[in-house]
Homo-oligomer: A and B are copies of this chain.
Amino acid sequence: MPDKIAFLPPKKSVLDRRDIIVADLSDLLPKGCLVSEPRGLVPFETDAFIAYRNVPLAVALPETTAQVAAILKYCSRYDIPVVPRGAGTSLSGGAIPQSDAVVIGLSKLSRILDVDYANRTATVQAGVTNLNISEAVSADGYFYAPDPSSQLACTIGGNIGMNSGGAHCLKYGVTTNNLLGVKLVLFDGTIIDLGGKALDAPGLDLLGLVCGSEGQLGIVTEATVRLIAKPEGARPVLFGFQSSEEAGSCVAEIIGTGIIPVAIEFMDKPAIEICEAFAHAGYPMDVEALLIVEVEGSEAEMDAMLASIIAIAGRHGVSTIRESQSANEAALIWKGRKSAFGATGRIADYICMDGTVPLSQLSYVLRKTGEIVARHGLRVANVFHAGDGNMHPLILYNINDPEDAARAEEAGNEILKLCVDAGGCLTGEHGVGIEKRDLMLHQFAQVDLDQQMTVRAAFDPHWIMNPSKVFPLEGRPAA
């Protein structure tokens, strides 16, 4: 991959002034909040995409919104690129810096500011981790719904940047459906507030626009999110099938009928084997595809919903049905699923695709995905949010073999194009980042991208905010 142009050429005017910039930024921040020594910069060279790495110019770790504003005001005045960073768990390279950029890490903004059960909201700083929100309200019977597999580490600021999802988003929606307000620092240091605790807001929905904008419209420093009351009970059930096509058509019928379980996760045989070997979750090994369907509510509600789902599964040739019999068993089932990426990483390098397709196309796209990967001489494991049509083929390859890596990238591109051509899109929850930037022209007509970029420029006229990401480097407006 390194022969591809991944980043905008670094600005000589910025690189040449490095020492001055570092000194100026130091003055804007408390002691110990600016990293500029080579050794200190290493952890910020890449993120969970790992395909590229750059040493940034410096890393600012502000402690307040005012400090974020001061840094942005300074960087915009001197035309210095800025890359916001949460926990660096991006799977699309959204937080990988360019060498002339100041990384603004939000990790020190880690306080929960307000929990308001009467309005079912929590207001937190951007660096609070996803799981911390749920943990803070768990004893009182609430949780924050979107649950990326990286929820132990990833921050709410990063979740907003990527409009992150997770297994339980089928019922509760992704980040944008659970976000009520943000404090946003614009490129020039202006601080604005979007949304709030009440339903909707008049005027233009800038809040929705900011969610998923990958750090290009400003830097979120605080967020108000919706809290959900924990259900009375929850029960994951395993449904095994002798083919991926049957499992896929079963999902389509469940959703088509209008039943909305909390989650419908899909694993094919390779994924089952990888996860079971790691987590000993008790997955059936005599099936080609597995669905984890979770229902919730009272015992009566769960029984009623499960009866409908079991009837549908029967029409699609289900060969194994196993209900979890205890909280322990339920936790194990989820542990297996949520460790899929880590467990895969133990046996091979992989790139994780994030294409989304209409449910009616699920079986077709699964079959074609297998054909594409096989044609490139590689292996694939599929483990994904089937109820949302949000596919995650993991293409297994050897990162130290350049030809293998090139084949994996090419297979990935073909799979994403397949998703788009099937009426879907490039990304469900991981964002565009560096990874899918050049495929945006397959998703959109230039006229559609132009309008997006015009709106982007309304927030960041000189393109200093995370500028190498999301939009193809060619066909941009002259800045």
Contact = CB atoms under 8 A, between A and B. Distances in A.
A256 B140 CA distance: 11
A425 B201 CA distance: 6
A106 B457 CA distance: 31
Given A177-B177, A209-B455, A119 B200 contact: no
A454 B199 CA distance: 24
A296 to B, nearest CB: 11
| Residue of A196, A204, A300, A357 most packed against chain B (CB within 10 A) | A204
Contacts of A259: 229
Contacts of A455: 204, 206, 209, 455, 458-459
Given A193-B448, A205-B211, A454-B459, 20 more contacts: A116-B358, A119-B358, A192-B445, A192-B448, A196-B424, A197-B358, A198-B357, A199-B388, A202-B426, A202-B432, A202-B440, A203-B443, A204-B209, A204-B212, A209-B455, A298-B304, A300-B304, A301-B304, A454-B458, A455-B458
A117 B190 contact: no
Contact of A258 (B196, B202, B229, B425): B229
A201 B444 CA distance: 10
A194 B448 CA distance: 8
Interface string A149-173: 0000000000000010000000000
27 contacts: A117-B256, A118-B360, A120-B258, A142-B258, A190-B447, A192-B445, A193-B445, A198-B356, A199-B389, A200-B212, A200-B427, A202-B425, A202-B431, A202-B440, A202-B470, A203-B452, A203-B471, A205-B208, A205-B212, A206-B451, A206-B455, A208-B208, A209-B455, A228-B258, A301-B304, A455-B458, A457-B458
A456 interface: yes
Contacts of A230: 258
A179 to B, nearest CB: 11
A209 B212 contact: no
Contacts of A176: 205, 208
A173 to B, nearest CB: 8
A449 interface: yes
Interface string A33-48: 0000000000000000
**Shortest 7 CB-CB distances between A and B: which pairs?**
A229-B258, A208-B208, A118-B360, A198-B424, A458-B458, A119-B358, A454-B458
A426 B199 CA distance: 10
A116 to B, nearest CB: 8
A34 to B, nearest CB: 28
A204 to B, nearest CB: 5
Contacts of A199: 174, 356, 388-390, 425, 428
Contact of A203 (B117, B211, B419, B470): B470
A242 interface: no
